[in-house]
Amino acid sequence: MKIAQVAPLWERVPPLSYGGIELVVSRLTDELVRRGHEVTLFASGDSQTLANLEAVYLRALRLDQNVQDYAVYQILELSQVYQQAAEFDIIHSHVGMTALPLASLVSTPTLHTLHDSFTKDSRKVFSYHQNQPYVSISNAQRQINLNYVGTVYNGIEPLDYPFVAQPQQPPYLVFLGRFSPAKGPQHAIAIAKQSGWCLKMAGKVDVVDSKFFEQEIAPHIDDQQIEYLGEINHAEKAELLGNAAITLFPITWQEPFGLVMIESMATGTPVIAINLGSVQEVIAHGITGFICQNYEEMATMIPAALKLTRQTCREHVENKFSVNQMVNGYEAIYKQIIENRINLINAYIQTASIQI
Amino acid sequence: MKIAQVAPLWERVPPLSYGGIELVVSRLTDELVRRGHEVTLFASGDSQTLANLEAVYLRALRLDQNVQDYAVYQILELSQVYQQAAEFDIIHSHVGMTALPLASLVSTPTLHTLHDSFTKDSRKVFSYHQNQPYVSISNAQRQINLNYVGTVYNGIEPLDYPFVAQPQQPPYLVFLGRFSPAKGPQHAIAIAKQSGWCLKMAGKVDVVDSKFFEQEIAPHIDDQQIEYLGEINHAEKAELLGNAAITLFPITWQEPFGLVMIESMATGTPVIAINLGSVQEVIAHGITGFICQNYEEMATMIPAALKLTRQTCREHVENKFSVNQMVNGYEAIYKQIIENRINLINAYIQTASIQI
């Protein structure tokens, strides 16, 4: 198949540190190439890929001081993609609603993976284009009525996450993610204090979250019980997760997937999470972690979580959340969409012939 | 002709106070309807128009506390326009670069009026789509190489601006516009102080400009020599301009048009301006105002400007910058684009026939 992959431009593909969507797009794209597809990746020019790279701009926008209006580059990317639409069998968009007005204007079908949750505003655009084909990254994500052609869970490459049979001593809890109220780092701190455990935290602080970080997080960082390691790269992340006794996922929002849960389990570290969004689909309760109703309960589940088998956590990811599984899912959906399109055209030609 | 007018959604059409683009779109749309065209206006739902209104959202986005992501509504608007593209002979876009990726995907032509100046970022998208048909609102605006099909100056309805034969006593200078460094209110204050004249100022302060206003403007407001009247409505604006002795236009940027210059001249008040952007095309130097090389020179031209004939200023607008003139310009361009399209199709059919 001739496939266009349309990535966000904020981070390179794959990302240097944080960037869940860019990581998924990278793994998907490279595996599709390995399986013999002809793939064009639309992404920032510093991206690294086995596919044919169409560089929209020379580097990831986040790192470029010269760029003032990010929307420009999204428009430029979509221009490039849809001007060349006829050259692809399918266009796979990872850029959300911005691709929607264009998708219905060309004959090449676009598959839209929903990487975010819906907002009060954004659901209006999605609902307007509800007949476009969508992939949800969890069943829980399907908060509005759209033409969902499947759920494809995000996949990671288990080899990228070395398995750690025994957590480090002295043991610690870990929180990894953006420092925004939605991800719940404030609850991770409360859980550490309630249980007396050490907590290591890492992740980026966006400008919009700087006040939250200063007020709710920074005062608790004592470099003894509560540590903040800043933004870390992939190798550091895999090590931090693998050496942890337990990963906390104390979210306060309807997480559409939650990549860090599978990254943690891949290294062998079980996850204690709040029952919101995708959590029930990602964690096998009582086997690879625990799903709790509130933050106090999360603290009380630590002893039970320590008894879980780390090898089973790893296998759970290998079986359900590998790149291979993910690419199997997307490949099947691409085929189905393209076949449906051909059947539709044939039916149309047949009807037209009968009328003649 | 069946014409779609695509307006920004930030203000209603026509705007309640500030909103140059929305004012121009309103006048153009209504006059096209009066001339017998079938016009559909895509705009906020509180807009008032003689055309068929397609309301994208119930009210102007600026006034709606519930809206958090404005981009959503722009996407929704363009979705609606281009889904219905086949129903129009021509689509006239006033929303800048966001319409560009869509315009080339449908057979109905889109005419793009350039209401803004180009930025380092935005010029990339325009250059990518350089073959689309563009209207510049001044010749000076043509900073990059595009397929310009004409310059159509913005037009106002002279009846909306009562002519004032004699300025108010005691006399004053006026500054009207956004309080941003680009519009130069800081220079207006300096000119008033240099010349000893009173200055009345009005216009909105955008959030991004609040620091500039606090630091560079507010300290000079003494309600004696320097007055700030806040944001004013149309009637107040016409009165403020008409009663002024002279309007100052001390811009620091390449103004693409500068509606306030023609609004002022329509009331009879001459304009002293800096030689940037469109100014040379809008002011008749020595007749309806003076065009200066620096801000000190502007102050020295006040005595000469007082001697200009106010009736001539009015006539200058009636002859060159009326709604009628503007609609004549656009009507001719619509016809030309549609004819070119038909000729192209006919040539294509002929070539195809010969080949058969």
Task: Tell me the average pLDDT of chain B.
Answer: 95
- The shortest CB-CB distance from B125 to any of A75, A97, A119 is to A75
The tokens of A185 are what? 């780092």
Q: How confident is the model at residue B107 (pLDDT cuts 50, 70, 90)?
A: very high
pLDDT interval class at A355 (50, 70, 90): low
CA-nearest of A97, A102, A6, A112 to B72 is: A97
Percent of chain A residues topping a pLDDT of 70 = 99
Does ipTM top 0.85? yes
The answer to whether B79 contacts A122, with C-beta atoms less than 8 Å apart, is: no
**Has residue B164 got a pLDDT over 80?**
yes
Residues of chain A with pLDDT > 90: what percent? 89
User: pLDDT exceeding 90 applies to what percent of chain B?
Assistant: 89
* A309-328 per-position pLDDT tens digit: 999 999 999 999 999 999 99
**A124–chain B nearest CA distance, Å:** 8
Q: What is the pLDDT of residue A349?
A: 81
Whether A122 contacts chain B with CB within 8 A: yes
Residue A350, Cβ neighbours under 10 Å: how many? Answer: 10
Residues of B in contact with A119 (CB under 8 A): 68-69, 72
Q: Which of A266, A270, A275, A278 is nearest to A318 (CA)?
A: A266
pLDDT exceeds cutoff 60 at A356: no
A144 touching B (Cβ < 8 Å): no
Q: Which residues of A touch B122 (CB under 8 A)?
A: 69, 72
The superfamily in CATH containing domain B158-319 is Glycogen Phosphorylase B; (3.40.50.2000)
Tell whether A83 lies on the interface with B, counting CB pairs under 8 A: yes
Residue in B69, B80, B128 closest to A79 by CB: B128
Element (H, E) at B315: helix B310-320
pLDDT digits (tens, 9 = 90+) for A145-174: 999 999 999 999 999 999 999 999 999 999
Predicted confidence (pLDDT) per residue in B209-227, tens digit: 999 999 999 999 999 999 9
pLDDT of residue A269 exceeding 90? yes
**What's the pLDDT tens digit per position in A204-256?**
999 999 999 999 999 999 999 999 999 998 899 999 999 999 999 999 999 99
Q: What is the C-alpha to C-alpha distance for residues A258 and B317, in angstroms, rounded to an integer?
A: 61
Measured between CB atoms, which of B76, B120, B128 is closest to A128? B76
* % of chain B residues with pLDDT over 70: 99
CB B126 within 8 A of CB B100: yes
**CA dihedral sign, ordered B41, B47, B52, B55:** positive
* Residues in chain B, overall count: 356
- B175 Cα distance to chain centroid: 17
What pLDDT was estimated at residue B181? 97
Asked if the model's pLDDT at residue A56 lies above 90, the reply is: no
What is the spatial distance between Cα A189 and Cα A269, in angstroms, rounded to a whole number? 19
Residues of B in contact with A102 (CB under 8 A): 101-102, 105
* CB proximity B127 to A under 8 Å: no
B72 and A121 within 8 Å at the Cβ level: the answer is yes
A86: contact with B, CB 8 A cutoff: no
Among chain A residues, CA nearest to B104: A83
Q: How far apart are the first and last CA of chain B?
A: 34
pLDDT of residue B64: 86
Distance (Å) of CA A99 to CA A77, A90, A111, B172: 10, 13, 10, 52
In chain A, residues 93-112 whose CB comes closer than 8 Å to chain B: 97-98, 100-102, 104-106
> Is residue A107 scored above 90 in pLDDT?
yes
Determine the residue among A6, A118, A121, A132 to mutate to test chain B binding: the one whose Cβ has the most chain B Cβ atoms within 10 Å.
A121
CB atoms within 10 A of CB B334: 20
Q: Dihedral, CA atoms, B164, B168, B173, B178, nearest 10 degrees?
A: -60
**What pLDDT sits at residue B143?**
95
pLDDT band (50, 70, 90) for residue B348: confident
Element (H, E) at B331: helix B323-355
The least confident of A181-185, A274-278, B60-64 is B60-64
Helix (H) or strand (E) holding B53: strand B52-55
> Where would I find the H helices in B230-309?
234-243, 259-267, 279-282, 295-300, 302-306
Residue A104 and residue B119: Cβ atoms within 8 Å? no
For residue A346, name the pLDDT band (cuts at 50, 70, 90).
Answer: confident
Identical topology for domains A2-155+322-355 and A158-319: yes
Nearest CB to A78 within list B68, B82, B101: B101
pLDDT reported for residue A66:
87
Residue B345's pLDDT is 83
Contacts (Cβ under 8 Å, ≥6 apart) of A282 = A138, A153, A257, A258, A261, A262, A321
Contact between residue B149 and residue B133 where contact means Cβ atoms under 8 Å apart: yes
Question: pLDDT tens-digit profile of B221-280?
Answer: 999 999 999 999 889 999 999 999 999 999 999 999 999 999 999 999 999 999 999 999
Domain locations in chain A? 2-155+322-355, 158-319
Give the gap in angstroms from C-alpha B270 to the nearest C-alpha of chain A. Answer: 37
What pLDDT digit, counting tens, does each position of B117-150 carry? 999 999 999 999 999 999 999 999 999 999 999 9
pLDDT in the model for residue B195: 96
Q: Is the pLDDT of residue A65 over 70?
A: yes
Per this entry, what is the length of chain A? Answer: 356
pLDDT of residue B56: 86
pTM: 0.91
Topology at the third CATH level for domain A2-155+322-355: Rossmann fold (3.40.50)
In the β-sheet with B2-6, what is the strand arrangement from edge to edge?
Answer: B52-55, B38-43, B2-6, B90-93, B110-114, B134-136, B148-151
What does the pLDDT read at residue B16? 82
Residue B16 contacts A where some CB pair is shorter than 8 Å = no
Q: Tokens 């790279």 — which residue?
A: A53
Residue B68 touches partner A, C-beta closer than 8 Å: yes
DSSP assigned state of B46: T
Task: Enumerate residues 6+ apart whose C-beta is below 8 A from B18.
Answer: B11, B178, B203, B204, B231
DSSP characters over B3-39: EEEE--SSS-SS-SSS-HHHHHHHHHHHHHHHTT-EE
Q: Measured between CB atoms, does B144 come within 8 Å of chain A?
A: no
Average confidence score pLDDT of chain A: 95
- Answer whether B73 sits within 8 Å of A121, measured CB to CB: yes
Chain A residues inside the 8 Å CB shell of B124: 72-73, 76
Q: Which residue of A has its CA nearest to B76?
A: A125
* pLDDT 10s digits, B68-88: 888 899 999 999 999 999 999
Please indicate whether, in this complex, the C-beta atoms of B100 and A79 are within 8 angstroms of each other.
yes
> Quick one: three-class SS letters along B175-223?
EECCCCHHHCHHHHHHHHHHHCCCEEEECCCCHHHHHHHHHHHHHHCCC
In Å, how far is A227's CA from the nearest CA of chain B?
34
> What pLDDT sits at residue A38?
98
Q: Which residues of A touch B67 (CB under 8 A)?
A: 121
